[in-house]
Amino acid sequence: MHATRHSFAGPGAPARRGRVVLAVRLSLGLFALLLASGAMAAETVRYVALVHGGKQAGHEIVTHGDDGVTHVEFVFKDNGRGPELKEQYTLAPDGTFARYQAKGTSTFGAPVDESFQREGHQAQWKSTSDHGAQAVEGTAQYTPLGGSPEAISVAISALSKRADGKLPLLPNGTLTMRKVAEATIGKADRQRHLQLLALTGLGFTPTFAWATTDATPRMFAFIAPGFLQLMPEGYEADGDALEARQKEAESQALVDLQQRLLHPMPGSTLICNVRVFDSEHARLLQPSDVLVRDGFIASIDPASATPIAADHVVDGKNRVLLPGLFDMHAHFSAWDGGLHLAAGITSIRDMGNDNATLQQLIADGKTGKLMAPHIVPAGFIEGESQMSARIGFVIKDLDGAKKAVDWYHAHGYPQIKIYNSFPKDLVHDTAAYAHHYGMRVSGHVPAFMRAQDAVEQGYDEIQHINQLLLNFFVDDKTDTRTLQRFYLPAEKTADLDFDSKPVQDFIALLVSHTTVIDPTLATFEFIHQRDGEMSSIVADIADHLPPDVQRSRRAAEMDIPDDATAARYAKSFDKMVEFVGRAYKAGVPLEAGTDELPGFTLQRELELYVRAGLTPAQVLQVATWNGAKFSRVLDDRGSIAIGKRADLVLVDGDPTKDISDIRKVALVLKDGNAYYPSEIDTALGIKPFAEPERVQTGAGK
């Protein structure tokens, strides 16, 4: 899942990625944060949406009418889901919306019905999740909640007319843009000179778009590196060149961000008077002094009134020191690092990405060019079908599956992840082949199988609570590549008897096979969220987020037509939480993953584990020790021990008593560097959660 609302949903589960995007995890919400496009003379422009490997996954047809009305048809289908929208709008003389309307369905089937109009100095809008009116003086552009990619053009065109380079937004905010690169594509009369623009002022990070260079520029192409290329028909072959140039420009912006927010700590650093969390035994120890030297833990001693000398000193003030947290279900994009680190997440497991993109991200993180957690990769293997997720390797037969496993093993991947369209008849032999390399096998349950079948055929781990519970709701004719994989658990879990023999036998099977579960509970709270309700992921901290993110997080993703359906879906989610607690207490290994908005979702996930019946200390063990264990890096991190990496998190509170204190991160150490979450949050438009604990210059060697 991903970061913003109404996402295009890459390989993850119910995508939404404030995510922040797919790993860019590009989402429709991202586009919705952008705005809508400018009409010119009468014309029709056709765009093609290409996903991994150049497969067409949708289209956008934009018709600018002689009457001044622009009509847009947008359809995107990838991984068995996606939005279908029809828009129409007219523009005011300053290039902003005079009227706007969008209707259709979102990625997960929720209705989209949104409208805006401005008459003189009065603007009003209405969507399925909010409505409002506002007095307006001068130029102001309405920001749609669920618009199409065409939205970017008006933002660009309207901004080009602004002498001050700023475009006021409705309901709130200000958009700016700057040119960061240029490129020339095409030949002869089809040659086009383009500019890459970075738009800032919405969401957490800049959004990049390729635009024309004429007097009234408009969007030409939108690229989410490693995931999507939205190109005009006839220019599909130029997408890779534009993507490569965009990666270069984004890389430089990311280097600048890293240099601004990183605080090197060469030599030795003493962290005084901290209560160390013993993640192996899920307990808090007596106050200690922890010495770090060149990024590794050198010693742990009882707190002393006369601590040893060090080059740098951190006053722990009797606060809790945790090992760096793990997010075991990420789909990493270059802009996600800040959100992870600000939340104390120093390691992630990437559960599916474009292979070349992920290799570059890992390399950039290791060399310090990119602000990023450590990345443990899982090798994504999908089967060929019309509903395939087009990343990693898409295979047709066992030979293809083995070649994919060979590649991942050769590149140091500790595990593979099998996906929805993977041929069920190949699961056993593919798992056995991965196991002969010593690799773990995890994934979704392929269509026409049940979770218990996957376990028996070699799965070491299963992703997502819905994939687990579908075990009781499907047969060999149920196609779980469709939205049924979300609606069946939402509808049926409410009536599932957890004390029944089938459920108890399934839990016993998981225990006997030591099958790990990665439930991503917080991500699945979307199944009961209604329009107008704040997403549970951010409900408790919404006032810390940028206003546009707050607004987008009130939009529902499921089609919930009435109160009775809402109550049923809410009961089903409550029982999903209960199932995780029962499984854990029975001995099923648990890990903490998200597949959604980085940072914030893991914090919510941990709160839900407490709700499931785990103690806060057990939850912290899951997010640290278990993460390292099942990532196969326990010898390197996951606990605070001499010789291990000094991936450390200083918390301004006691999360062993109140798990919500996990949000109050005062300092993060990683790779011999300090990060202040308050600085990262401020750079991303987030109100900080804790005062920073600054590293001081020490007295010693």
pLDDT band, residue 699 (cuts 50/70/90): low
Q: Is 295 exposed, middle or buried (0-12, 13-18, 19+ CB in 10 A)?
A: middle
- 3-state SS, residue 575: helix
Query: Taking the domains of the chain in order of start, what are their residue ranges?
Result: 28-260
pLDDT of amino acid 629:
98
Asked if 10 contacts 25 with a C-beta cutoff of 8 angstroms, the reply is yes
Say which residues have a Cβ less than 8 Å from residue 475's Cβ, sequence separation at least 6. Answer: none
The contacts of residue 55 (CB under 8 Å, 6+ apart) are: 390
pLDDT in tens, 198-226: 999 989 999 999 999 999 999 999 999 98
What pLDDT was estimated at residue 22?
A: 31
Of the candidates 329, 332, 322, the residue with the CA atom closest to the CA atom of residue 522: 329
| Element of type H or E holding 12 | none
pLDDT at site 35: 34
* pLDDT reading at 303 higher than 50: yes
- In the predicted model, is pLDDT for residue 25 greater than 60? no
User: Could you tell me the pTM of the whole model?
Assistant: 0.90
The one-letter code for the residue type at 366 is K
Residue count of the chain: 701
pLDDT bracket for residue 80 (50, 70, 90): confident
The structure tokens 């750079």 sit at 683
Poorest-confidence range of 50-54, 247-251, 377-381, 677-681?
Answer: 50-54
What's the rounded Cα separation, in Å, for the pair 277 and 263?
Answer: 24
Separation CA 119–CA 107 (nearest Å): 32
What is the pLDDT, as a whole number, of residue 79?
80
Q: Look at residue 323 and give its three-state secondary structure.
A: strand
- With a pLDDT cut of 90, the percent of the chain lying above it is 87
Query: What are the b/e assignments for 592-630, b being 16+ CB within 10 Å?
Result: bbbbbbbbbbbbbbbbbbbebebebbbbbbbbbbbbbbb
Q: Is the pLDDT of residue 440 over 60?
A: yes
What pLDDT score was predicted for residue 307? Answer: 86
pLDDT of residue 12: 45
Whether the predicted pLDDT of 4 surpasses 60? no
Tokens 């003389």 identify what position? 93
Alpha helices in 262-397 (DSSP H): 337-342, 355-366
- The predicted-structure confidence for 399-409, as pLDDT tens digits, reads as follows 999 999 999 99
Mean pLDDT of the chain: 92
Q: In 3D, which of 335, 283, 408, 228 has the Cα closest to residue 3?
A: 335
Q: Would you place residue 131 in the very low, low, confident or very high pLDDT band (cuts 50, 70, 90)? A: very high
Mean pLDDT, rounded, for 462-481:
97
Q: Which residues pair with 297 in a beta bridge?
A: 292
pLDDT of 52 reads 77
The answer to whether the CB of 176 falls within 8 A of the CB of 165 is yes
Question: Which residue stretches of 174-302 are H helix?
Answer: 239-261
Residue 15 has pLDDT above 60, yes or no: no
* 176-213 b/e (C-beta count within 10 Å ≥ 16 → b): ebeebbebebeeeeeebebbbbbbebbbbbbbbbbbbe
Angle, vertex CA 225, rays to CA 223 and CA 229, nearest 5:
35
Tell me which residue of 647, 553, 557, 539 sits closest to 603, measured CA to CA.
539
Average pLDDT of the segment spanning 236-250: 95
pLDDT of res. 61: 95
Contacts of 11 (CB under 8 A, 6+ apart): 79, 331, 351, 352, 353, 380, 382, 389, 391, 392, 419
First to last CA, the chain: 46
DSSP letter, residue 438:
T
Which range among 7-16, 22-31, 208-217 has the greatest average pLDDT? 208-217
3-class DSSP assignment, residue 377: strand
